[in-house]
A and B are shown apart, each in its own frame.
Chain A
């Protein structure tokens, strides 16, 4: 009987707390509404403020982007901003995949997304893109973020890229290409290991092989082309260029 009584007590305590949480939730919702009425614009217009906001949420253990039904999303409009960005990111990556094998620099992605959004859309920062991409990961289509040099490569295909692949990508980032000798010299690998990694990147379409380079073959990353070397030309310009 005593045990039953204790159990009952326990249930009541949990119920109490739930009721308390429900009340606090309502209060919080009101506070958030007030905050939104004063500062919603700040979040919309100021990328730096968004970073601070996200950092603070992370610190206390709250994910404002977890659900479109969450308070943060509904009242501050952060949700729609990032989820729509997610859609735009997917579309850009898909459009360019045939060219770069599913690897793109954060810079180029940023440029393309801004282009797609048009002149009058809200400003979008690289931090915003990274957060949107982190969310896209759960959809299982292989989105990933690879740090290289001072920036990031964004992966958008479910190709397996382990530490070896990543470090070679980082090495290639400086000039846009890498050779077996460079890998051996910088990373102190055997030629076999270097070749395996490079072949995997070739297979995935993320690297292109230049066998006509002076010296030894060069493995180029098309993901880095626009950034380092070429100018973006439209199909019209390309047509004109051909005699």
Chain B
């Protein structure tokens, strides 16, 4: 374990993440060390281990230090492991958690599995040796090929220094950003606590709090992104914003709906609306909350949720049950149809075509033939010809 060095855990220029795995414990040879629960990251250049509880605790060893690796199968009460044999630490290694070690190998213990995949990727990286082609802006790690390494350092040391400075500056910016972010989060946390306290008060005195105050409170929650603890209102977790949005949607979606036979899936609506807006996009939740209000606002559209969980927007004038009648005609003409075939014929999305056929089946007009070749619908002759 003395080959490891402390690191920020941020990837260098030219270094790419290959795979990562949670729940990994480290061993110095046969002995457990205090690094017992972390995320193990494999990059093109290094093996990095970061403590899951304390993100600041992060160590790494260059892949060039690895001699070979072997798998150690899991046993009863023992997790599967990868044994990593290492070259001796170089003299100019950065400081790390261990000054010395009596072992020349470490073990990676995969408490949450993932060992097979990790071994595969690590073997690949060992074969490809990509770190040799893309020197990351770290101090040169001198491995067994120390002569060649030293010669390389002399040649490009100027560039290395510039990259090092840039990296330090980026690191500084990022640490400043993290610090500022932490302070900001502290304040946000206070807001969350306050909102919980208010929510409790509201719950205790249902009916004594004014409509106005509830509306205000909900809009505060919306601004902060705090989940609404006070549920069971008329408009779900909607706010004034969603009310306005619902009215806007009724206008925007009128024509598109007419062009698409009066019905669109909510996902289609999401894409359509956001593509049109370009900026200040709607979140999926915004859309759902607004659509939930459509009916109660007596707007010409409504939200409908099928048994499968699929959500659609329909024109009020659209009657899916009537469409089922025409679907039955289409299926009868062709003898039988799958959702794909029906969708192509009618010019609908497969998602909605399937829902219509399922509805027709639910209403007793169609029968299904469920086989490995797919789901096929036939007119229900049991009903019509008995």
> Chain A interface (Cβ within 8 Å of chain B)?
7, 10-11, 13-15, 17-18, 20-22, 24-25, 27-29, 31-32, 35, 38-39, 42, 46, 48-49, 52-53, 56-57, 59-74, 79-80, 83-84, 86-87, 90-91, 97, 135-142, 149-150, 157-158, 174, 199, 202-203, 205, 209
Contact B177 A39 (CB under 8 A): yes
Tell me, in angstroms, the Cα distance from A86 to B286 when the chains sit together: 14
Contact across chains for A61 and B267 when beta carbons are under 8 A apart: no
Instruction: Output the least CB separation between A132 and chain B (Å).
Output: 9
**Residue pair A139, B275 in contact (C-beta under 8 Å):** no
Report yes or no: A62 in contact with B283, Cβ–Cβ below 8 A.
no
Contact between A39 and B181, CB atoms less than 8 A apart: yes
Q: How far is A135 from B19 in the complex, measured between Cα atoms in Å?
A: 24
Across chains A and B, the number of contacting residue pairs, with CB separation under 8 Å, is 211
Contact of A17 among B19, B189, B198 (CB under 8 A): B198
Stretch at the interface among B73-81, B90-98, B123-131, B370-378: B370-378
**What residues on B are CB-neighbors of A203 within 8 Å?**
370-375
Q: Is B323 an interface residue when CB atoms closer than 8 A count as contact?
A: no
Q: Is the CB of B181 within 8 A of A62?
A: no
Interface of A is mostly: helix
Distance in angstroms between the alpha carbons of A230 and B190 in the assembled complex: 53
Look across to chain A and name the residue whose beta carbon is closest to the beta carbon of B120. Answer: A150
Complex contacts, A67 vs chain B, CB 8 Å: 222, 225, 241, 283, 285-286
CB distance from B274 to the nearest CB of A (A): 5
Q: Do A138 and B181 touch across chains, with their CB atoms under 8 A apart?
A: no
Q: Is B381 an interface residue (CB 8 A)?
A: no
| Cα of A142 to Cα of B266 in the assembled complex, Å | 11
- The reply to whether A68 and B174 form a contact with Cβ atoms under 8 Å apart is no
Q: Identify which of B177, B217, B371 gathers the most chain A CB atoms within 10 Å of its CB.
A: B177
Selected from B187, B213, B283, B287, the residue in CB contact (under 8 A) with A15 is: B213
Q: Is the CB of A24 within 8 A of B181?
A: no
Q: Interface digits, B203-225 against A, CB 8 Å rule (1 contact, 0 not)?
A: 01100110001001100101111
Q: Are B225 and A57 in contact (CB under 8 A)?
A: yes
Let me know if B159 is at the binding interface, CB within 8 A: no
Question: Are B194 and A21 neighbours in the complex by a CB distance under 8 Å?
Answer: yes
Q: Does B281 contact A (CB under 8 A)?
A: yes
Which residues from chain B contact A135 at a C-beta distance below 8 Å? Answer: 283-285
CA distance A48 to B285 in the complex (A): 25
Identity of the chain B residue whose Cβ is nearest the Cβ of A173 in the assembled complex: B117
- Which 7 A-B pairs rank lowest in CB-CB distance, beginning with the nearest? A150-B117, A140-B311, A83-B281, A141-B267, A60-B189, A39-B177, A14-B201
Interface flags, B7-20, vs A, CB<8A=1, else 0: 00011000000010
Evaluate contact between B267 and A136: CB separation under 8 angstroms: yes
Distance between Cα atoms of A20 and B267 in the complex (Å)? 39
Rounded to whole angstroms, the CA-CA distance of A106 and B227 in the bound complex is 28
Q: Cβ of B117: which chain A residues have Cβ within 8 Å of it?
A: 149-150
A–B Cβ pairs within 8 angstroms, 25 of them:
A14-B205, A14-B213, A17-B194, A17-B201, A28-B188, A28-B191, A38-B180, A52-B55, A52-B178, A60-B188, A62-B188, A68-B286, A70-B224, A73-B283, A79-B281, A80-B280, A87-B275, A136-B270, A139-B288, A141-B267, A142-B309, A149-B117, A150-B118, A158-B309, A158-B310
Residue B65 CB within 8 A of the other chain: no
Q: Is B202 an interface residue (CB 8 A)?
A: yes
In the complex, which of the residues A11, A90, A138 contacts B288, with contact meaning CB atoms closer than 8 Å? A138
Interchain CB contact under 8 A, A7 and B208: yes
Question: Which of the listed residues A59, A67, A83, A136 has the most CB atoms from chain B within 10 Å of its own CB?
Answer: A67
Report chain B residues within 8 Å CB of A28.
Answer: 187-188, 191, 224
Complex Cα distance A29/B223, Å?
Answer: 9
**Are A84 and B281 in contact (CB-based, < 8 A)?**
yes
Q: Is B317 an interface residue (CB 8 A)?
A: no
- Say yes or no: A70 contacts B225, CB within 8 Å: yes
Contact, CB under 8 Å: B284 / A86: yes
Docked CA distance A24–B208 (Å): 24
In the complex, A7 Cα to B206 Cα: how many Å? 11
A80 touches B371 (CB 8 A): no
Judged by a CB distance under 8 angstroms, whether B234 is at the interface is no
Known: A15-B213, A79-B281. Is A25-B351 also a contact (CB below 8 A)?
no
- Check A65 against B225 for contact (C-beta < 8 Å): yes
Contact A91–B271 (Cβ < 8 Å): yes
A56 with B182: CB separation less than 8 A: yes
Q: Which residue of A lies closest to B349 (CB)?
A: A94
Does B318 lie at the interface of the complex (its beta carbon under 8 Å from any beta carbon of A)? no
CB A2 to nearest CB in B, in angstroms, measures 16
